[in-house]
Amino acid sequence: MTNEEYLSILNSMKEGFQVVDQDLRYVFLNKSAEEHSRMLPGSLIGRKMTECYPGIEKTKLFELIIDTLERKNHNEFDNEFTYPNGEKGWFRISIQPSDNQIFIISTDITEIIKKNKELEQFAYITSHDLQEPLRTIMSLSQLMSSTYKGRLDEKADKYLRYIDETSQRMSDLIKGLLDYSRIGSERELTNIDCNELLNAISDDLQENIRESKAQIEVGELPEIRGYETELRMLFQNLISNALKFQKKDNKPRVTIDARKEMGGWEFACTDNGIGIAPENRERIFDIFQRLNKKTRYKGTGIGLAHCRKIVDLHGGKIRVESELGQGSTFYVFLPAQQ
Ligand code: ADP
């Protein structure tokens, strides 16, 4: 192929493709990269990044670029970018090392992020507004129960009890949805000693642990950077599930471990519970997905959706491995945060 043909291929890519040398000078930008930058065509070539984008030194993008240049690491992350006119754009950035330069590949994810934000807003508003009429139903049914106590027949009492139970369940679902839409809205990156975090969670679950005579083993856990409130919710959900989804009369055994992986830590939460069939191992992370009889195991089916959203916020991954009837292990990979 001729150089022109190579160039034409690079310029027809939807992804932005840039080459930056070790002095941080732009060596090449394809057409999409120029469009993403919103600078005049050709105006970046030969100039330093720091000169073209004053203040870039303080960004995570810059830190990762330096990391790739100096340590030859491959880095990937979602970058929020504010244009000079104040407009925002989101790009999935992949920074790859080469001999004396780096490649930066950028995919425009602005529309996906905007849709997600709209959906979150929608979930927030609807769940918030649904609470109001539901509260009225609940207080009316309670008022009816107390006002007509002993004056109604058995059937009417039973119907009122159903209304109470069902509206309580609806309230739990709506609360779950509201919590889901709020996750991460006040997130704050801090250093977290995971041993302390797990101790605090065990304290919170003390009653549950005592009742089920569960044994919880926590290995040597690292200190990481992350969103503490959210991570607490994540591990609390995993451990509560491990205690809950148990065979009858089985003594729950739960272990939490961590091991260093490329670019971060992988946590594992293992139980000796009922296990999860292979065909369900993806959908359990969706909102309101439950696999078991409502009467046997209580819950709303939103805990693992919370977990996945929290892991996503950290740029990580969550998955489950399981043996039906033997137990499950939930793996959470959390990349090192800057
Ligand atoms: P909930 O616990 O409220 O039912 P979750 O979203 O936390 O909802 O979990 C979704 C479903 O995944 C559960 O209803 C259950 O069927 C399954 N599940 C979750 N954790 C476990 C586990 N440790 N062992 C077996 N099944 C599990």
- C-alpha to C-alpha distance for 103 and 140, rounded to whole angstroms: 64
**Span from the CA of 254 to the centroid of ligand 1 (angstroms):** 15
The residues near 55 (Cβ < 8 Å, ≥ 6 apart) are: none
Mean per-residue pLDDT, 176-197: 92
**Span from the CA of 300 to the centroid of ligand 1 (angstroms):** 9
Query: What is the pLDDT at residue 241?
Result: 96
Least confidently predicted of 5-9, 182-186, 193-197: 182-186
For atom 23 of ligand 1, the residue with the nearest CA is 242
Pair 101, 19: CB distance under 8 Å: yes
Structure tokens at 311: 């892991």
| Per-residue pLDDT tens digits for 282-306 | 999 998 888 877 677 888 899 999 9
Q: Which is more confident, 123 or 28? A: 28
| Per-residue pLDDT tens digits for 113-134 | 899 888 888 988 988 899 999 9
DSSP code at position 140: H
Give the position, in ligand 1's atom list, of the atom nearest the Cα of 301: 8
Q: Which of the listed ranges 18-27, 113-122, 175-184 does the model predict with the highest average pLDDT?
A: 18-27
DSSP code at position 48: B
Residue type, 122: F
Q: Which residues line ligand 1 (CB under 6 A)?
A: 237, 241-242, 245, 271, 273-276, 284, 289-292, 299-305, 328
**Span from the CA of 287 to the centroid of ligand 1 (angstroms):** 11
For atom 1 of ligand 1, the residue with the nearest CA is 301
Give the position, in ligand 1's atom list, of the atom nearest the Cα of 291: 16
Cα 260 to its chain centre, rounded Å, is: 20
**Span from the CA of 337 to the centroid of ligand 1 (angstroms):** 28
Pair 52, 71: CB distance under 8 Å: no
| Per-residue pLDDT tens digits for 125-163 | 988 899 999 999 999 999 999 999 889 899 999 999 999
Position 338 confidence tier, pLDDT thresholds 50, 70, 90: low
Q: Which is more confident, 83 or 115? A: 115
Q: Is the pLDDT reported for residue 64 higher than 80?
A: yes
Average pLDDT, the chain: 92
- C-alpha to C-alpha distance for 62 and 242, rounded to whole angstroms: 41
